[in-house]
Structure 1
Amino acid sequence: MCGIVGYIGHRDAFDILVKGLHRLEYRGYDSSGVALVNGADELHVYKAKGKVSDLEHAAEGKDCSGTVGIAHTRWATHGEPSVRNAHPHVSNSGNLVIVHNGIIENFALLRDQLKQRGFHFNSDTDTEVLVNLIEYAQQTHHCNLAEAVRHALRKCIGAYAIAVLDQRDPRTLVAARKGSPMVIGIGENDSEFFIASDATPIAEYTKNVVYVDDEQIAVCHPGQPLDITDLRNQHVDVSVKTIDMDLDMLDKGGFPHYMLKEIFDQPNCLRDCMRGRLFAEDDMGGNDAYDPSTGYADPNVHNDVVLSAVRNNRDRLLSASRFIIVACGTSWHAGLIGKQLIEHYCKIPVEVDYASEFRYRDPVIYPTDVVIAISQSGETADTLAAIKLAKEKGACIFGIVNAVGSSIARETDTGIYIHVGPEIGVASTKAFTGQLTCLILLALALGHTKGTIDEKEYVDMIHELNAIPAKIEEVLKHNEDIRLLARTYTYATNFLYLGRGWNYPVALEGALKLKEISYIHAEGYPAAEMKHGPIALVDNMMPCLFVATHHKGYEKIISNMQEVKARGGRIIAVVSANDDEVSKIADAVIEVPDTLAPLAPLLSVIPLQMLAYHIAVEKGLNVDMPRNLAKSVTVE
């Protein structure tokens, strides 16, 4: 959701900024812009509605020189998508320029106060209010840019990540954040600095980064160390981290879309997720998942799940009276399966909450609770706010995130990185299966430590989980069949997804994928609930997709299919291999390899991802960047 890129140093800034904007396109946006200060200390701002390529066209043939600049991709919050609302925004004097992620909640009051002091506004945005507030602070206090930013931000209520330039001082770039992510890359010998919403635009140039924390202001001045202070003007120790990002993961790898690539990435992603954590002894006595680089270099470890988060927080986790999972969207669906896993293997009660509702309903939280926060980006605003509330109540916070160094990762007491690599497609695929794999590992490790899981079942689950990546590869071989099937259903305006038990959340996830990228209305339901309302919608224009693998509830879900069939409904079914019952009822069948019931979602979700993808492609839609959506939801 919105993207910031900034650069100050010795290189031409324009190419770095535009390439960085392209790297951040996956976050979702509707307009973009760039501001540059050239060698004559002249400020040039170029904006465009639409894609970054439109911005490049708008800047073509114009002065794009300069070694300092800021750039932005905007996801509209205040004001429609348009050039006048696009960032960067310039102050009334024309000296200051800003890019901003987040929302200034009291912007209307601040705007009225500034109007009374003679300021005028050309856009509908809260961002233009902020840059003029900084200018007013500079004029009133006769201070430098960093101090003016500090004065202004003290008056702001809400979330922000900002980068600000003053054309009169082009050797200084100021950045600040609260509730919206920001990372600063440091060049060799502090010769240059890179600012971005996440590390993807930075990794090409430096591995040394600093994650800016809430209410901190960073001053970048080439040739001098990065200077960070808080809103009280207290100096903060600069903690430099080393990032390890494979830039090849940011390319499509020969696939037509990132989403399809990420669907096909899943076998290797899950191997990476399990490496060093899952130790499964194969038939030859070898340890398939053993990796001495992890620090668990014990060749005597066999048929075990080893999680440092469980080892290092054993007492707190074992004494938990309750787990509370907070998440949004796809992560919430993973949490629903996580609830079943933890209750089944650990015998601990689990609640699953939408993070956006959790923080506002005065939740009852005890110090004996463990709150599990699930987020791909690690920056989801509602989830971050939920865990801060839980921390205030004394709960232990356990994070499951993908982005190393993200805000949620830093706020939690412990947790697990899912290690599936950058996910560029807005519709999450590999992050879901990665989150689910981590929840399985957590439930197994904790259940084994508590002694609440049968030893044979524990070993069977380890062996079968170790085999899941290869079984996903078998599912992916059906891609062409699913593509042909998708053509049949592009006509649909509504879809019903149905599942039971472990597969009920998979039905929810499949419906979400279809909604997100094909714009077909779809709803997921527990199959038995169909009779309590949704069956009224069923006719020959309403496809019903059943997730009906051969596990508990299989016979009952066949009965549900018969009810749909009797009303003229068209049925697509995801079934276990060699199923010979459903094929007699369904109009189309997609087989997945057989597996243990708790692991079925890892396989049954794959065809649903592919079906949604191919339906959207057949409709000619932008699969990677669907309308109105953003990858990282950093506002409420």
Structure 2
Amino acid sequence: MCGIVGIVGGRDAAPVLLDALRRLEYRGYDSAGIATLVNGHIERRRAEGKLDNLATVLEARALPGITGIGHTRWATHGAPTEGNAHPHGTERVSVVHNGIIENHAELRAELEGEGQTFSTETDTETVAQMVDLFLKRGMSPRDAAFACFRRLQGAYALAIIFAGHKELMIGAQHGAPLAVGFGESEMFLGSDSLALSPLTRRIAYLRDGDWAVLSREGAELFDMSGEPVEREIRQTAQIAGSIGKDGYRHYMEKELHEHPLVIGNTLRRMIDPATRRVVLPDLPFDLAAVPRVTMTACGSAFYAGMIGRYWLEGEARLPVDADVASELRYREPPLTPGGLALLISQSGETADTLAALRSLREGGQHVMSVLNVPESTMARESDVVLDTVAGPEICVASTKAFTAQLSVLACVAIGAARARGTLTDAREEELVQALLDLPGRAAELFGLGDAIREVAEVVADARDVLYLGRGAQFPVALEGALKLKEISYIHAEAYAAGEMKHGPIALIDRTVPVVALAPNGRLFEKTASNLQEARARGGRLMCFTDNSGAARMARIAEKMVVLPDAHEFTAPILHSIAVQMLAYEVALLKGTDVDQPRNLAKSVTVE
């Protein structure tokens, strides 16, 4: 959600900023802008919509200057217009901001009373106007910025430049991530290391309450008491050239095809090839003694956690509570001392999940996080980090990160089961082999394009779609429905198949396709019976099954996608890929913006 980049250097800033903003497109945005210092004065270029629009503006009106800030905005306060696009400012100061200033209305009234004139609806302009007022009163840029920061409430990452100070930039973080990049006679600010990866590999991550004063030669860091602080400068693992589409039509298509590689790479981190056993990292707690797990996440990551819950409870006999992170801390559940908080996030910056992490730690829980960004805020605040090794995921709708999360959670379940003595050697060997078979099985799915497109043609014409699954396939149904909603804008709902007759069956007629997840296994017959009930009422059944279940499903399904046979333990991972592929094909038919669907952001860094 929103993206910030800044440069204090010796080269033209605008082209560097525009390129860095393109690396932040995955976060989601609806307008963009750049401001630089030109002969000591601040000049801006802004545009509604995509970065190509901003590029057109820059081609028509060049923007020189070696110090500048750029921003991709996801609208919160104020409509997504050019006028509300960042950077905001006055003739003295220009600001870009990620987050929400919660006391902006109070501050705005105070500033207007002091004679400051606002020109936008945004909360961000409050920051610019307050710094401007302090500058008018004779404060230095450093003092004016610090005085402003101490008045702000809410979540923010900020980057500020000042007229007449061509080698100065000030940044601050509270509740929204901000990184400082160290170059050769250049310094950078960015929302994440991906934005800065072509520019520098040396990154320092600010902590909440930190603010930074940048010049070409370095950075001074302070806390909110004004005392100097030091933050470790790390070598980032981000690879500058890793985010191209590589000939695919969309990032989502590319990332779907990366499933086999990502699953394989993730499993290689967690399975010893010599012993063929799961190897978890050294833990600062005894997994065998954990009395209960509290699992939390948002969006697709939460559905991954729900599948992991089936595995942990089924194999390790370990009780698991699962809550969406946006509700967990407000529900205030009683926590068992010594319990394990298991958090899942692609970005490691999700505001609700990060807040849940802090709440669970305060409740005496050990913290284990499953993350795709090992340099994220959540990583730095966790006891243990399990890396999903998915690489940068650019499409807003998560695909490969989801199956990487599932691969990690499957290994955690096996490791926990062994530690707790609930898993025989033979069962562990069976489950590990099933995991090792996954990359090959996943690769076979891309030969099912014609069958999936046939289902997509039916679904694309629908206004409403039902997804059904039982057991661990129920969260897969939730994931399938979410993906369809996200990128095709078709209303979809998912239910545990056994719940259909408790209400949803009333919706079934010839206009509502039913996407059923029915691989062979312990629950196959019960699922088939539920689907037969839907068929008897005119339901149009689109069945995802396997070779073993195909004969039975063929008698009731209007369309069928036959996946490779897989172990019941790993079947949810294969079916997850299949329903993601279906959503992609439907979106192509609908002509939507697959990679950047409307109203959505990749990383939701505010509540």
Deviations 1:395-433 (A, max 9, x none): 111111111211111111112011100110011111110
Q: Which amino acid aligns with 1:620?
A: G
Q: TM-score, normalised by structure 1?
A: 0.93
- The answer as to whether partners of 2:285 and 2:366 remain within 8 angstroms in 1 is no
Q: In the alignment, which residue of structure 2 is the partner of 1:144?
A: 140
The partner residue of 2:191 within 197, 203, 206 is: 197
The partner residue of 2:563 within 592, 609, 619 is: 592
1:143 Cα shift? 3.1
In the alignment, the residues of structure 2 paired with residue 102 and residue 120 of structure 1 have an alpha-carbon distance, to the nearest angstrom, of: 22
Deviations 1:577-627 (A, max 9, x none): 242110111011111122221211110111111110011111111100000
- The answer as to whether partners of 1:101 and 1:161 remain within 8 angstroms in 2 is yes
**Larger displacement relative to structure 2 (257-266 or 474-483):** 474-483
Q: In the alignment, which residue of structure 1 is the partner of 2:344?
A: 374
In the alignment, the residues of structure 1 paired with residue 576 and residue 58 of structure 2 have an alpha-carbon distance, to the nearest angstrom, of: 44
- The answer as to whether partners of 1:185 and 1:209 remain within 8 angstroms in 2 is yes
What does 1:499-578 align with in structure 2 at a 5 Å threshold?
Answer: 499-578=469-548
Q: Which amino acid aligns with 1:551?
A: G
In the alignment, the residues of structure 1 paired with residue 364 and residue 285 of structure 2 have an alpha-carbon distance, to the nearest angstrom, of: 17
Q: In the alignment, which residue of structure 2 is the partner of 1:116?
A: 113
1:480 Cα shift? 3.6
Percent identity between the two aligned chains: 41
1:72 Cα shift? 0.5
Q: Which amino acid aligns with 1:497?
A: Y
- The answer as to whether partners of 1:226 and 1:238 remain within 8 angstroms in 2 is no
What does 1:64-83 align with in structure 2 at a 5 Å threshold?
Answer: 64-83=63-82
Deviations 1:208-264 (A, max 9, x none): 1111111100111112x3211111112111311111223443011111000011011
1:177 paired with 2:173, answer: yes
Q: In the alignment, which residue of structure 2 is the partner of 1:614?
A: 585
Give the match's secondary structure for 2:522: coil
In the alignment, the residues of structure 1 paired with residue 408 and residue 294 of structure 2 have an alpha-carbon distance, to the nearest angstrom, of: 16
Q: Which amino acid aligns with 1:625?
A: Q
Ranges of 4+ aligned residues in structure 1 off by more than 6 Å: none
- The answer as to whether partners of 2:374 and 2:385 remain within 8 angstroms in 1 is no
The partner residue of 1:327 within 289, 294, 297 is: 297
Give the match's secondary structure for 1:267: helix
Q: In the alignment, which residue of structure 1 is the partner of 2:205?
A: 211
In the alignment, the residues of structure 1 paired with residue 342 and residue 455 of structure 2 have an alpha-carbon distance, to the nearest angstrom, of: 38
1:314 Cα shift? 4.2
Deviations 1:381-403 (A, max 9, x none): 00111111111222111111111
- The answer as to whether partners of 2:390 and 2:400 remain within 8 angstroms in 1 is yes
The partner residue of 1:349 within 308, 319, 325 is: 319
**Larger displacement relative to structure 2 (407-416 or 490-499):** 407-416
Q: In the alignment, which residue of structure 2 is the partner of 1:284?
A: none
1:229 paired with 2:199, answer: no
1:151 Cα shift? 1.5
1:153 Cα shift? 1.6
Give the match's secondary structure for 2:193: coil
Q: Which amino acid aligns with 1:35?
A: A
- The answer as to whether partners of 1:35 and 1:46 remain within 8 angstroms in 2 is yes
Q: Which amino acid aligns with 2:349?
A: E
In the alignment, the residues of structure 1 paired with residue 135 and residue 343 of structure 2 have an alpha-carbon distance, to the nearest angstrom, of: 40
- The answer as to whether partners of 1:475 and 1:591 remain within 8 angstroms in 2 is no
1:539 Cα shift? 0.4
Give the match's secondary structure for 2:509: coil
In the alignment, the residues of structure 1 paired with residue 106 and residue 74 of structure 2 have an alpha-carbon distance, to the nearest angstrom, of: 23
In the alignment, the residues of structure 2 paired with residue 476 and residue 61 of structure 1 have an alpha-carbon distance, to the nearest angstrom, of: 44
What is the count of residue pairs matched by the alignment? 606
Deviations 1:129-156 (A, max 9, x none): 111122233444x433233222212111
In the alignment, the residues of structure 1 paired with residue 67 and residue 5 of structure 2 have an alpha-carbon distance, to the nearest angstrom, of: 11
Cα root mean square deviation, aligned? 1.3
In the alignment, the residues of structure 1 paired with residue 529 and residue 59 of structure 2 have an alpha-carbon distance, to the nearest angstrom, of: 63
**Structure 2 unmatched ranges of 5 or more:** none
Q: TM-score, normalised by structure 2?
A: 0.98
Give the match's secondary structure for 1:162: strand
- The answer as to whether partners of 2:487 and 2:583 remain within 8 angstroms in 1 is yes
1:560 Cα shift? 1.2
What does 1:356-435 align with in structure 2 at a 5 Å threshold?
Answer: 356-435=326-405
Q: In the alignment, which residue of structure 2 is the partner of 1:186?
A: 182
Q: In the alignment, which residue of structure 1 is the partner of 2:56?
A: 57
**Larger displacement relative to structure 2 (142-151 or 344-353):** 142-151
1:303 paired with 2:276, answer: yes
- The answer as to whether partners of 1:33 and 1:86 remain within 8 angstroms in 2 is yes
In the alignment, the residues of structure 1 paired with residue 62 and residue 438 of structure 2 have an alpha-carbon distance, to the nearest angstrom, of: 54
1:240 paired with 2:237, answer: no
In the alignment, the residues of structure 1 paired with residue 35 and residue 305 of structure 2 have an alpha-carbon distance, to the nearest angstrom, of: 42
In the alignment, the residues of structure 2 paired with residue 154 and residue 245 of structure 1 have an alpha-carbon distance, to the nearest angstrom, of: 33
- The answer as to whether partners of 2:458 and 2:513 remain within 8 angstroms in 1 is no
